[in-house]
Amino acid sequence: MIPPEFLERLKLIVPQQDLEAVLRSFSSPEILSIRVNSLKDAVKETCSRLKIDGSLLDPVPWCPDSYQVMGMSHGEVSHHPLAAEGKIYQQSLSSMIPVVVLDPKPGEKVLDACAAPGSKTTQIAAMMCNEGALVAVEAVKGRFFRLKSVCQLLGATIVKCKLCDVRRFHPSDEDAFDKVLVDAPCSSEGRFKSDDPESVAYWSVRKIKEMSYKQKGILMSASRLVKPGGVLVYATCTFAPEENEEVVDWFIRKSEGLFRVEEAGIAGVPVLPCLTSWGKNEDRKSVV
């Protein structure tokens, strides 16, 4: 059951014309999507093997080498020999978006600041064609080893994994990065499922406030690692304005002109409008 307090907040966050579709998403089956790993094999050959096994692949137009899969279940994909070989990787469409926005290029120096379990890290490595430098930072030991395992399986050889909280990660000045991804820990409201009590078990307004405080520290620390003229992408999987617009607004004000917000729209990906006020905080002009 979705928490009533969350639903009341959602009515204030999501425009009325979009609310019904958002509410349906909590009970709708998850779209099955994969990335075909170009680091391990030719994409065309891998797709041919999947089609032989009876799957239908619908290309995701805005994300390279990514497909919606029909004719197979989540279990069949995760246990498929191609998954065991690291040639396909099951990843949600929403998870792919931040890396598409980051747009990493071969030869660049990139930091994934909250990297585990490695979905986005290996997506970055694939878009870089394993050329350049990619540092993946993870603070939790168990998740760190999962990250290393995924990078090894998918052949992401340019990745250097660091067991460290990015708030205490201090490389030398020459190690500043062209691009930094902060896929921040959050209250995960976008992952709520009405038939899965575990998905909502830890949600509370207090949790949102705790996450917001943590996100600000992570974002500010990561920003100090970006080269002048570089790119910093901040992403969450939650609706809470305290973790989205308010964090970005706080950061833009604290960074005193060193960073600016840019449009990050992707053709074919629907978006909701940015909130310019929430609770006592109004006129959030820095994020619109």
Cβ neighbors of 107 (< 8 A, separation 6 or more) are 128, 131, 132
Residue type, 224: R
Neighbours of 76 (CB within 10 A): 15
Looking up tokens 């020459």 gives 174
| Cα separations in angstroms, 177 against 1, 161, 256 | 43, 15, 20
Looking up tokens 């833009």 gives 252
Q: Count Cβ neighbours within 10 Å for each residue of 153-192 and write b for 16 or more, e otherwise.
A: bbbbebbebbeebbbebeeeeeebbbbbbbbbbbbbbbbb
Q: Does 274 participate in catalysis according to the annotation?
A: no
Closest CA to 68 of 47, 86, 93: 93
- Interatomic CA distance for residues 118 and 39, integer angstroms: 15
- Establish how many alpha carbons lie within 13 A of residue 97's alpha carbon, considering only the half-sphere containing its beta carbon: 17
In 132-204, which ranges are continuous DSSP H helix?
A: 141-153
Q: How far is CA 217 from the centre of its chain?
A: 18
Closest CA to 160 of 139, 137, 140, 142: 137
**Active-site pick, 151, 161, 186, 237:** 237
- Joined tokens for residue 108: 């660049």
Instruction: Please answer whether residues 189 and 240 qualify as being in contact, where contact means their C-beta atoms are separated by less than 8 angstroms.
Output: yes
Active-site residue set: 237
